[in-house]
Amino acid sequence: MTTPADFSHHVAELDRLKIHYVREGTEGRLPLVLLHGWPEFWYAYHQNIPVFAEHFDVIVPDLRGFGDTDDLPGIPSITDYADDILALANHLGLDRFGIVTHDLGAVLAMDIGRRLPERVPGLFFFNCPNPGVGARWAEADHHIEVWYQSFHRLPVAHELVGLSADTVRIYFRHFLEHWSYQGRMAAELDHWVDTYAKPGRVEGSFKFYKSWAETRLRAAREGPPKLPKITVPARVLWGAEDPVNKPEWRDNLPDYFENVQIDLAPEAGHFVHYDQPDLANAEIIKFFNGL
């Protein structure tokens, strides 16, 4: 079984913070930046990185407060998270880079794609949480799935979950089992416990939900916002069995992208890149090689 030690690890010492990232492949090829979601860190892509490395220059950072990347005092904005990625790209000399992203990483990718389309030849999303979801986040029957987004905003939340390795194990087991197809991602639980039981990691990851809360709640109260369409070519592969980010919520994506192809991944839940790695790898290689 692949372990974190099987990959090449680096730390970028930036003005903003120190970012941990894994880099594999050949420099000089198209850089591909893989952005994880929650409850993840770079290792969520461990089934994908070796395949992509045969075709691209693959960079997989831990987002701010996740994995082994620094956290900073206070609550960052979504722009702060996105700017961290841009600062890493600048540090590595990447003028243009493709982005592959999952879950909350999609929020950052959309921000980058909308602001700096000249730097991003393509965007590939798994289960894209998009502004078009609107009030459906708050539907009565869906509260049982998104309760954690409100819980993570409570001051006591990170203290409860991060109390010990045992509490981390209990909490993260729920998401890895419930969100993956037939619970298969629970096989990776030990790696998640090793990472999130480190001091401050639970709190750092929960900050994203404090950062994103007002945007999500405004959309729930007022409906989908009107935003300029992203002009960067985009591809979306959505897990057909995702319980938390429902596949039917892909319906409004054309309102936010000028050029987007959307497909369902069978026998995949929230973690398409883990549940269906062969399909995910093939579609990503095809998409970026075709740009």
- Spell out the domain ranges in the chain: 4-289
* Averaged pLDDT, 2-28: 95
Q: Which two tokens stand for residue 110?
A: 């959309």
Distance CA 280, CA 44 (A): 13
Do residues 139 and 115 touch, judged by C-beta distance below 8 A? no
- Give catalytic residue positions: 103, 209, 270
- Give the global pTM: 0.97
pLDDT at 221 (0 to 100): 87
Partners of 11 in the β-ladder: 20
pLDDT at 223 (0 to 100): 86
| Per-chain mean pLDDT for the chain | 96
Distance CA 235, CA 291 (A): 11
pLDDT band at 1 (very low <50, low <70, confident <90, very high): confident
Distance CA 196, CA 62 (A): 12
Q: Of 276, 247, 264, nearest to 133 (Cα)? A: 247
pLDDT at 190 (0 to 100): 98
Per residue, what are the HEC states of the chain? Answer: CCCHHHCCEEEEECCCCEEEEEEEECECECEEEEECCCCCCHHHHCCCHHHHCCCCEEEEECCCCCCCCCCCCCCCCHHHHHHHHHHHHHHCCCCCCEEEEECCHHHHHHHHHHHCHHHCCCEEEECCCCHHHHHHHHCHHHHHHHHHHHHCCCCCHHHHHCCCHHHHHHHHHHHHHHHCHHHHHHHHHHHHHHHHCCCCHHHHHHHHHHHHHHHHHHHHHHCCCCCCCECCCEEEEEECCCCCCCHHHHCCHHHCECCEEEEEECCCCCCHHHHCHHHHHHHHHHHHHCC
Residue type at 222 in one-letter notation:
E
How far lies 254's CA from each of 98, 146, 218, 272, in Å?
20, 24, 21, 21
Do residues 239 and 127 touch, judged by C-beta distance below 8 A? yes
How far lies 183's CA from each of 81, 220, 243, 246, in Å?
30, 29, 12, 17
pLDDT at 233 (0 to 100): 98
* Averaged pLDDT, 89-106: 97
In degrees and rounded to multiples of 5, residue 118 shows phi and psi of: -70, -15
Distance CA 28, CA 18 (A): 24
Q: Convert the pLDDT of each residue in 155-168 to its tens digit.
A: 999 999 999 999 99
Q: Convert the pLDDT of each residue in 123-143 to its tens digit.
A: 999 999 988 988 898 888 999
Distance CA 15, CA 100 (A): 25
Q: Which of 51-55, 211-215, 264-268 has the lowest mean pLDDT?
A: 211-215
Q: Which two tokens stand for residue 151?
A: 């819980």
Q: Which two tokens stand for residue 101?
A: 């992203």
- For 154, residues 6+ apart whose C-beta sits below 8 A from its C-beta are none
pLDDT at 134 (0 to 100): 86
Residue 262 has pLDDT above 80, yes or no: yes
Q: Convert the pLDDT of each residue in 185-196 to its tens digit.
A: 999 999 999 999
CATH of domain 4-289: 3.40.50.1820
First to last CA, the chain: 33
